[in-house]
Structure formats: C-alpha cells, structure tokens
C-alpha cells in the first residue's frame, strides 16, 4: 500500500473466476489449473512480435518491457512449493483462518486462491482499484508490461474486483507479484503477497450489538479522517475493530503471545480509513502489514452495494525473513539443498532459524549493493525513494501496491534481472 506518498496457470484463470465457474463460498482451496514448470517455461519466449506466456499469445508493442530473466520467474510459484519457507508462512496463515473462522455448516469462512495467473489486464491492476489514470504507480518504469493492455500484476489486489463480482465475501489471495526495483538484500522485483478481504451485511456487522437493529451501514454525509462519506460512524468503528482484532490474532498466532503492537494511520487509494500494523520484535518496531476499510465505490462497482468490508495485505518474504532469520531476500530463489533442507519440517508451526555454513556459505562475501532492473531500450526502473515508490512497504489488503521486500533469485546474476 501507500503511506503519505506511494511507498510503496497455462491459462488466464481470473477469467474463469469472473464467470464464477466452480467458485463457491466455503471451499477450502481453489486450484484452477496448472502452470508450466520453470524449466518448461524458460524454453518459451518472444517469437517475432508475439510473446507466448502461460499458454496465451500476447502481441508486443511499445509498452512491452519484460526481460527474459523476469519471465523465467513466472510459474515458479515458490509459495506453492511444499516446505519452501514462503509455503510455510502461507500454510500457517491459511491454517489460522481455517481454524478461527468457520461458517454455519462447519466449512471455512474464507476461501483461498493461490494459483491465479499473474498476467492481468491494466484495468484489473489499476482501474478496478480506483487508481487514477495519472497515478505514478502506473509508470512504465515501475511495472512489467506484457503490452499496452496486459501486465504482470503489481499486487494480488488485481484479482479483488473479480472475486467480489463472483459473489465471494471472505477470501485470501496469495501469489507472486512484480514491481521493477533496485536489487539488494532486502528488495527484489519479484515477490509474494497474501491479502485478505471480508464483507459484512448489516445483520452480520450489528448482530450482538446493543440496539443493533436500529443501526445503519450507510448514510449521506461528508468524508472525514475517520470515515467515508457513505458510511456511518458506527459501522466504520465496528468494522475497524473487527479488522484490527482479526489481524492481532493472526500476528499473535505467528509470533506468539506478549507481542507489542501499534497502529499507524496511513493513506491508501482503495481504503479509508487505512492503517499499518507495526510490531516490536527484539526491541525494533517493524511494519508487517497494511489494512483498511474498503472504499465503498469499489465494493459497489463489484455488485455488493448492500455490504461493507475490510481488506489487508502482507508480504510473505517480510514475515519469513523475520520469523526464520533469513538475512537476504535473494535466498528465497535458491535451489541449493543446504538452504531448502532447513525448512523440511513435519509441523508447519515448528520453529526454524536459518543457519549459513561457515566453510562454504550460501551468502557470498560480497554482493553488489544494488542492481538496476534495466531494459536499455525501454527505460530504467526508478531509484530507491523516488516519487513512483519503487519500494512499497507492507501492503494493504488486497489492495496494495506493495513491493515490500520482494524475493530474490539464486544469488547469481541478480543485478541484471
């Protein structure tokens, strides 16, 4: 997401979701096809002026700026590789939501979508989330464009509108996302996000509240720092309470009891009010996620006019680096057995601390401090801290333009992705 300024599978599965085929509430997981393995995908590429990507053909134009190295990351799906540290984090979050939030018939309240195609339309990535046409987050230098109408998603929020339109009111989305960025031990242009969305009807939000039958979700008033113009103060405060309680339970599940938490007011384009959660971990305040009350205009446009909702988003790499003491984000792309074997645990909640070897360390003694994500003929990624927000911090719920600690590849050739 954005705070103050923007800090920042051979099938197109999202179109299946839009048609609502096979999508229903309470499913434990949605697996919508399979993607090619990295080795299979790497053999593909642009042929003439057409790019073959995940089983579809995309004409190339002056917006196309995908490098072969970035394309080689598509389809790797680190978050779905069993016992990978990103998979462990995803499974822990999923387990928590499955156990804590159960529907009337004993099925999980939240559906999980972790294999949606990363190729989306620019409308899905930006317009569906109310991002203005002149917003700096659309810049070619900050994104990976397949062509003028399609791109590699910059956030998992690109699927939010479609899932809401399909009738879902509680879901998690997990996937790889792509933001052009400088490369160092903390940043990489390909990373992984997990976002959550939940909608409430009037009955669901006010049940159990004193005089709840007299309360309303909507009103016509003015926007303030505390609420949207169409939301009542009562609805906003109850939604905010439920959101913060949900996320406090989640981080307590991940980090343990006794955690110091603080909330920081923020600005995000698609939520209001918006917040970032920070935790005190070993004496240091760390930002771990962003969240907020969903903009009603977005909810209405997806066909849920009688509901209001919240959304949150977090970076899997961020959490894994903290929980597992992984010092360099590029290690997540390593295929070295010395790294991978450390995470083959029988229990996903087992404590793991990464340990490098002394005689032949996984981390080289010297890594370039930065590596430009540069396609010479098409422009350069903006530098750290620029107005375009190359390095987004923890993102908000499915609505984050967040480049929070992206992943790295296998620690070689990283500076020219």
Rounded-to-10 torsion of CA 193, 306, 101, 9: -40
3-state secondary structure (DSSP) of residue 141: helix
Residue 218 covered by a domain: yes
Cα dist. 43→40, 53, 81, 334, 408 in Å? 6, 11, 21, 20, 21
3-state secondary structure (DSSP) of residue 127: helix
Question: What's the DSSP call for residue 392?
Answer: -
Q: Give the strand order in the sheet containing 50-53.
A: 46-47, 50-53, 56-59
Alpha carbon 1 to chain centroid, angstroms: 10
User: Are the CB atoms for 114 and 194 separated by under 8 Å?
Assistant: no
- Comparing CA positions, the residue from 321, 257, 362 lying closest to residue 88 is 321
User: Are the CB atoms for 289 and 312 separated by under 8 Å?
Assistant: yes
C-alpha 256/C-alpha 354 separation (Å) is 19
Residue 7 covered by a domain: no
The reported pLDDT for the residue numbered 374 is 35
C-alpha 154/C-alpha 112 separation (Å) is 19
Range of the domain at 62: 13-416
Residue 4 covered by a domain: no
Residue 87 covered by a domain: yes
C-alpha 18/C-alpha 32 separation (Å) is 12
Residue 6 covered by a domain: no
Residue 182 covered by a domain: yes
Cβ burial of 266 (10 Å; 0-12, 13-18, 19+) is buried
The reported pLDDT for the residue numbered 417 is 66
The reported pLDDT for the residue numbered 65 is 96
Local mean pLDDT, 10-residue blocks, the chain (417 residues): 39 32 39 37 51 96 95 97 98 98 93 98 97 94 97 98 98 98 90 98 95 94 98 98 98 94 95 97 92 98 98 97 95 95 97 88 57 37 31 34 32 45
C-alpha 373/C-alpha 391 separation (Å) is 13
- Comparing CA positions, the residue from 187, 189, 184 lying closest to residue 369 is 184
Query: How many C-beta atoms lie closer than 10 Å to residue 410's C-beta?
Result: 15
User: Are the CB atoms for 394 and 313 separated by under 8 Å?
Assistant: yes
C-alpha 276/C-alpha 264 separation (Å) is 5
User: Are the CB atoms for 158 and 399 separated by under 8 Å?
Assistant: no
CATH at 337: 3.30.930.10
C-alpha 317/C-alpha 320 separation (Å) is 5
Q: How many domains does the chain have?
A: 1
| Exposed e or buried b per residue across 283-292, where buried means at least 16 C-beta atoms within 10 angstroms of its C-beta | eeeebbbbbb
Residue 1 covered by a domain: no
34: alpha, beta or left? (left if phi > 0; alpha if psi -120 to 50): beta
Residue 8 covered by a domain: no
Full-model pTM: 0.79
């Amino acid at each position: 997401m954005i705070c103050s300024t923007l800090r920042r599978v051979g099938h197109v599965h999202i179109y299946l979701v839009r048609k609502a085929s096979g999508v229903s509430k309470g499913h434990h997981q949605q697996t919508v096809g399979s993607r090619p393995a990295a080795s299979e995908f790497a053999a593909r590429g642009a042929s003439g002026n057409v790019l073959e990507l995940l089983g579809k053909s995309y004409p190339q134009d002056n917006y196309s700026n995908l490098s072969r190295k970035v394309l080689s990351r598509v389809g790797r799906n680190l978050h779905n590789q069993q016992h990978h540290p990103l998979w462990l984090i995803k499974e822990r979050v999923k387990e928590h939501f499955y156990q804590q939030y159960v529907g009337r018939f004993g099925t999980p309240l939240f559906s999980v979508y972790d294999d949606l195609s990363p190729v989306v339309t620019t409308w899905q990535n930006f317009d569906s989330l109310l991002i203005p046409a002149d917003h700096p987050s659309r810049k070619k230098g900050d994104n990976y464009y397949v062509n003028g109408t399609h791109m590699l998603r910059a956030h998992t929020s690109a699927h939010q509108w479609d899932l809401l339109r399909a009738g879902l009111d509680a879901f998690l989305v997990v996937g790889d996302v792509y933001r052009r960025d400088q490369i160092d031990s903390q940043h990489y242009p390909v990373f992984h996000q997990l976002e959550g969305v939940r909608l409430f009807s009037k009955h669901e939000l006010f049940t159990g509240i004193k005089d709840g039958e007299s309360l309303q979700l909507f009103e016509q008033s003015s926007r303030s720092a505390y609420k949207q113009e169409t939301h009542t103060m009562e609805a906003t405060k109850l939604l905010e309470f439920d959101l913060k309680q949900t996320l406090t339970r989640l981080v307590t599940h991940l980090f343990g009891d006794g955690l110091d938490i603080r909330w920081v007011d923020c600005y995000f384009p698609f939520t209001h009010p918006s917040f970032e959660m920070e935790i005190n971990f070993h004496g240091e305040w760390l930002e771990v996620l962003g969240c907020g009350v969903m903009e009603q205009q977005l909810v209405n446009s997806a066909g849920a006019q009688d509901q209001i909702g919240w959304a949150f988003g977090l970076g899997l790499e961020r959490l894994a680096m903290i929980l597992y003491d992984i010092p360099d984000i590029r290690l997540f792309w390593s295929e070295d057995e010395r790294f991978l074997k450390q995470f083959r645990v029988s229990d996903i909640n087992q404590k793991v601390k990464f340990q490098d070897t002394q005689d032949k360390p996984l981390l080289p003694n010297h890594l370039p401090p930065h590596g430009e994500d540069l396609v010479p003929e098409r422009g350069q990624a903006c530098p750290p801290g620029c107005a375009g927000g190359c390095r987004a911090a923890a993102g908000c719920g499915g609505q984050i333009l967040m480049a929070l600690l992206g992943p790295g590849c296998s620690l070689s050739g990283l500076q020219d992705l």
